[in-house]
Amino acid sequence: MKLKVITPQGISYDGEVNRVQLRSTTGLLEVLENHAPMIAEVKEGQIITDKENIDCGAGVMKVRNNEIEVVCE
């Protein structure tokens, strides 16, 4: 899957991952390959992947066609 993390300073991550885990306003979310399309509000914290952990402020996540985009503070 492709993960892109966008902050006000620019793109902080743009690459391939096998899983993404983060906190949303409704609880912990994990996204794996072929996940159903969704949009979720993200809480401040870390985005945990199988490659690395990425700091992220509050924002929004969109999942579609094995592409995950997180726009955060």
* Domain ranges, ordered by start, for the chain: 2-72
Q: Please, what is the end-to-end C-alpha distance for the chain in angstroms?
A: 23
Beta carbons of 15 and 28 less than 8 angstroms apart? no
Beta carbons of 19 and 32 less than 8 angstroms apart? yes
How do residues 19-43 score in pLDDT, each as one tens digit? 999 999 999 999 999 999 999 999 9
Q: What per-residue confidence (pLDDT) applies to 12?
A: 92
What sign results for the dihedral spanned by CA atoms 28, 9, 71, 5?
A: negative
Q: How confident is the model at residue 44 (pLDDT cuts 50, 70, 90)?
A: very high
Q: 2-72 adopts what CATH topology?
A: ATP Synthase; domain 1 (2.60.15)
Q: What per-residue confidence (pLDDT) applies to 28?
A: 95
Q: How far apart are CA 73 and CA 62, in angstroms?
A: 15
